Amino acid sequence: MLENEEIEEPTIKPVKEIFQTFFKSYSAVTGLVILIGIAVMGFIGPLFYPTDPFDMVWMPFSPPGADGFLLGTDYLGRDILSQIINGARVSIAIGFSAALVSCFIGVGIGSFAGFYGGWVEETLMRITEFFQVLPTLLFAMVIVALFGSSVLSITLAIGAVSWASVARITRSEFLRIKELDFVLASRSSGSNNMALIFRVILPNAAAPIIVQSALLVGAAITFEAGLAFLGLSDPNVISWGQVIGSNRVYILDATYTVTFPGIAIFITVLAISLVGDGLNDALNPKLRSR
Amino acid sequence: MNKHFLKTLLLTATLIFTSLGVSFAEPKKGGTLIAAVGNSPRHLNPAVQSGIVTGFPGAQLFATPIRYDNNWEPQPYLAESWEISDGGKTVRLNLVKDAVFHDGVPIKSSDVKFSLETIKKNHPFKTMFAPVVSVETPDEHTAILKLSSPHPALMLAMSSQLMAIIPEHVYGDGQDPKTHPQNSENVVGSGPFKLVEFKSGEHIILERFDDFFIDGRPYLDKMVLKIIKDPATRTIGLENGEIDFYAFENVARNIVRLKKNDNLTVTPDGYAAIGPIDWLAFNTKTGKTADVNVRRAIAYAIDRNFILKAIMLGVADEARTGIHPGSPFYEPNVEPYNLDIDKANKILDDAGYKKGSDGMRFGLTVDFGWPGLKPNAEYTKAALKKIGIDVTVRASADFPTWAKTVSNHNFDLTWDTVFNWGDPVIGVHRTYQTSNIKKGVIWSNTQQYSNPKVDAIMEKAGVENDMDKRKALYSELQKMLANDLPVYWTNTLPYHTIYSKKVGNPPMGIWATSSPMDMTYIKD
Amino acid sequence: MLFVLLVVVVLNFLMLHLAPGDIADTIAQTMGGADEQDMAELRQQYGLDQPFFIQLFNYVIRVALLDFGHSHFYNLPVFDLIMERFPATLLLVFSAQILSLFVGILLGVYAAQNPNGLSSLFVNMFSLFGYAAPVFWTGILLLIAFSLHIPIFPVSGMRDITIETDNFFVHFFDVLRHLFLPMITLASIFFAYYSRLCRASMLEVLGADFVRTAKAKGLSKKDVLLKHALKNSLSPVITFAGLSFSAVVSGAILVETVYSWPGLGTLAFNSIISRDTPVLLGILIFSTLMVTVGNLLTDLTLKALDPRIKI
């Protein structure tokens, strides 16, 4: 497919150019600003709003705005605003860690499969196929049933079932890049395989992987909420999903207890996907030309 | 008892067949009742499967020898009369003459014998019929139960879903009754309704059995039991009229909400024999909770009123002991452990548990057996912080995980809901008997509580036929248990029945929907 | 294919085996208590007292002989249980998939006509709504809105069993009425994927030579758009649809839970929390097959769109 081109150069774009493209997009910048805002809220917010999210501070089910609680209180009289603020930290942490786990597994499997080919590729892609075919939520539930519903096991479970897309993208990038001249050149200059995979090819394959991983962060946050909805969450840690899961049975009367954390998840995932789009446009030279 | 019965025989005949009907206005025949159930039953044969989920369809499909009225008085059902003699060691059941199973085969005393033996062998509540050594069948309509010792729990054990009369010619075909294919399909029962269709996770459809042994009953043509797990979905269904009837609602918030609806009646009546109690169980063998002082301090620090008012929103009742407040054996005059933080702190100080520099004395874990008890566990964490106990809430991913943890005694505290199941012998003794400390078995004496005096009282109460003496024994038992505190009992699980105004005569006895609904009807 | 199935079976068998508690505990739960002997008997009956590898071996052999065993919980053949629930899930998954494809492509085509304008932004934001909101949350809000406050849709299940008629159309519309909210909820997740993919590939195709030729030949805008551009840009959309079948099934579990839809998702969920291993494995094998068939359909569709593709 590349016969007509003279020499394919490394496709890494200058950092400055990436930033320029990214910041030219209004939606990407908006997403980034929202995301930073939420992160700041989660990490610094508790300093300004010190109510402990676990403390029963008022009557249960006090509606939003009444009695000085902006977002109301939950079934134990705990402050929902404080839960949203503190939950931001945990939800974002779960999202990023799970995406990181997926990224590690996916890049590992995809790059080896793409680089080595043959039976290695065959086996690894079969494993990937397995994760692509299996309903991920079911698989994650089995993992949580096995290891218990702590934040750690939930995060790992999400990460462990969501990497198939990363693996596929990594593999196809590797398949494309490993035949390019600059790779062949460094191969002939005696670089060993590991150096080729991680120093030469991977940086050039990074763009689509980064974009995909960014989207996985959002997916992991909704995934965690889904598990919590089914009753699998850690009651010792406040995350948005956990707030939704715990208040689920009260939804008819105290809809706000589920609405607010839902909105928080919604805004965050929206912001992440806007940033993902921006990254995609900035990193992908093909699209930029349009 | 014999004379008493002969007298009541005529009386009850008239009562049940005429005046009961009249007193509840004129029941109308026909109509379909759309009910919701919260879980899919394993199968529909209550002889080998206990629990309220099978109980609802099970009590409609299968008749029992006797039934109970709302005052804990036994009434004739499949047995039109009974006599107790030999100091309670012989019980003679005289069966209704013209009763037939759903396939038209007459119900004989040999079926009663077969049913009892099957239940004794396969039902998890072994204490129900443990003293029954043999069943004699002198003729087709007489069954005589021979007991090794008096067994006051027997009457309750022969009612509701507990002693379903199943046909020997179907379930006695040599297959294991526990896994008999006709437990789920082509069920041949003896009760007022027969099975049309059972789709697990979707619905159970029951239809009037025209040859039911009580003439003119049941009133309903059809019962549709929709399986709806989500409490919110059920509530919406009740509100917009898609569902006429739901029993065993226990989400306090929904109960309060539905009470405001003019088209619905919401009542806590009917659950006295089921007897569900929420409690905080202690590990009395290992860890800090082995010290009774720690247990008492925890009880003083947990505000039962908060649970009743804030978590249960006022729809549950206080339960000070392990016997349900609706039971005639309930003894309210025990140490109630009302909230007293200072006393709790003092008990701990005196017992030598000093506060550390962070204000904490020691740490404990709290588990919970049902998702509905999560608020209690979270509240426990907050409440015990005030007396310097650092509590970690342990969430089990699912029931088997919790059951494994608790039944293997790997816990400090755990919230649980446990049922009385009618007589204390069936559902209360098991929690405190030394002989019932059984590793790996949930709802055995997982507290590993052992007190020879308590064991002795329970043994005596289990065979005492005199009601007043029995009450006195159970009163003493409850006081001793409240003192030793292997469990801190807080409240009844607020089971409520919710039904549309068009439903007449819903089951309001002591067994709720685990009793036949042959008298329920749909108004115009 | 067989390899994937074997991995599915072995891995899940192992994990559920190692998870704390077993079916005997679950049955004790439904019983309100249990007896030592009963529990031991149950374990023996279901072969749980045997070493893990023997259990696994027995299971694999049986599956190879096309026997999925009996549900430990329901005592019914797993195959029957699955067949009872399968039509509901199939209906939900396929209707949602088709709806999201249809709406997604429509939005994508619309957006591609004016890639940098307001309409494009609108389509983008609209489709992202469904993507960013947790699916069960959307479901609950729709349920509260359209079953409680404006009661135009039934609250649960797949059909009204009190309808006493054999008229096919009455039943058909009844199921349709029950299907509507769950279908929209499940489809909403995928609007974003399809509309964006469609928009992107449309733009790519619109820039290609043959479309320019068509335009030059004087074909109307509509004809160019539909006959040439759309047809050629469908491939990536449909490829993605094939790949996302497992994600649809995952979403279906949550949607089925919200709407009490009597499908495989809720059965699978219950089989995990009740340690009903044969049912879970049966469903996993079944859904693997379903996804495979879905992928096959995808390939066939792709081939129909573009005869050059070889399968």
- Which residue does chain A place closest to C115, by CA atoms? A290
Q: Do C38 and B124 touch (CB under 8 A)?
A: yes
Residue with the bigger pLDDT between A38 and C310: it is: A38
Q: Do A141 and C269 touch (CB under 8 A)?
A: yes
Q: Which residues of B touch A (CB under 8 A)?
A: 231-232, 235-236, 251, 253-254, 256-257, 310-311, 371-372, 374-375, 377-379, 381-382, 392-393, 395-398, 401
User: DSSP states of chain C as a string?
Assistant: -HHHHHHHHHHHHHHHHHSSS-HHHHHHHHHTS--HHHHHHHHHHTTTTS-HHHHHHHHHHHHHTT---B-TTT-SBHHHHHHHHHHHHHHHHHHHHHHHHHHHHHHHHHHHTSTTSHHHHHHHHHHHHHHHS-HHHHHHHHHIIIIIIS--S-SSSSS-TT-----HHHHHHHHHHHHHHHHHHHHHHHHHHHHHHHHHHHHHHHTSHHHHHHHHTT--HHHIIIIIIIHHHHHHHHHHHHHTHHHHHHHHHHHHHHHT--SHHHHHHHHHHTT-HHHHHHHHHHHHHHHHHHHHHHHHHHHHH-TT---
The position carrying tokens 């068509």 is C214
pLDDT exceeds cutoff 50 at B19: no
Residue with the bigger pLDDT between C202 and A153: it is: A153
pLDDT above 70 covers a percentage of chain C that reads 93
Q: Which residue among A76, A145, A149 sits closest to B375, beta carbon to beta carbon?
A: A76
- How far, in Å, CA of A157 to CA of A143, rounded? 6
- Nearest CA to C142 out of B22, A38, C134 is that of C134
Band (B296; pLDDT cuts 50, 70, 90): very high
Band (A127; pLDDT cuts 50, 70, 90): confident
The position carrying tokens 């320029």 is A20
CA distances (Å), origin B285, targets B289, B321, B445, C36: 8, 21, 11, 21
Please report the pLDDT score of residue B4 as a whole number.
53
Give every CB contact of residue C282 below 8 A, 6+ residues apart in sequence.
C68, C69, C78, C79, C81, C82
Residue with the bigger pLDDT between B120 and A126: it is: B120
pLDDT exceeds cutoff 50 at B11: no
Bridge partners (DSSP) listed for residue B470: none
Specify whether the CB–CB gap between B475 and B331 falls below 8 A. Answer: yes
The three state secondary structure string of B364-416 is: EEEEECCHHHHHHHHHHHHHHHCCCEEEEEECCCCHHHHHHHHHCCCCCEEEE
Bridge partners (DSSP) listed for residue B390: B363
CA distances (Å), origin C117, targets A69, B212, B316: 42, 74, 60
B residues 72-101 closer than 8 Å to C (CB): none
Return the DSSP state at B318.
Answer: B
Question: Could you tell me how many CB contacts below 8 A there are between chain B and chain C?
Answer: 162
- pTM for the model stands at 0.85
Please report the pLDDT score of residue C1 as a whole number.
67
Q: Do C134 and A266 touch (CB under 8 A)?
A: yes
Band (B25; pLDDT cuts 50, 70, 90): low
Q: Do B32 and C162 touch (CB under 8 A)?
A: yes
The position carrying tokens 């049940």 is B16
- How far, in Å, CA of B319 to CA of B494, rounded? 11
Q: Do B200 and C157 touch (CB under 8 A)?
A: no
Q: What is the mean pLDDT of residues B22-36?
A: 78
Q: Do A249 and B253 touch (CB under 8 A)?
A: yes
Q: What is the mean pLDDT of residues B114-141?
A: 92
Please report the pLDDT score of residue C127 as a whole number.
78
Q: What is the ipTM of this complex?
A: 0.83
Closest approach of B353 to chain C, Cα-based (Å)? 34
Closest approach of B478 to chain A, Cα-based (Å)? 31
Give tens-digit pLDDT for C36-93.
888 888 888 888 888 888 888 888 888 888 888 888 888 888 999 999 888 898 899 8
Helix (H, G, I), strand (E, B), or coil: what is residue B334?
A: coil
CA-based max dimension of chain A = 73
Residue with the bigger pLDDT between A9 and C33: it is: C33
Q: What is the mean pLDDT of residues B112-137?
A: 92
A189-193, C101-105, C186-190: range with lowest mean pLDDT: A189-193
- Which residue does chain B place closest to A252, by CA atoms? B232
Q: Do B51 and C32 touch (CB under 8 A)?
A: yes
Q: What is the mean pLDDT of residues B282-299?
A: 94
Measured from the Cβ of residue C218, the count of other Cβ atoms closer than 10 Å reads 8
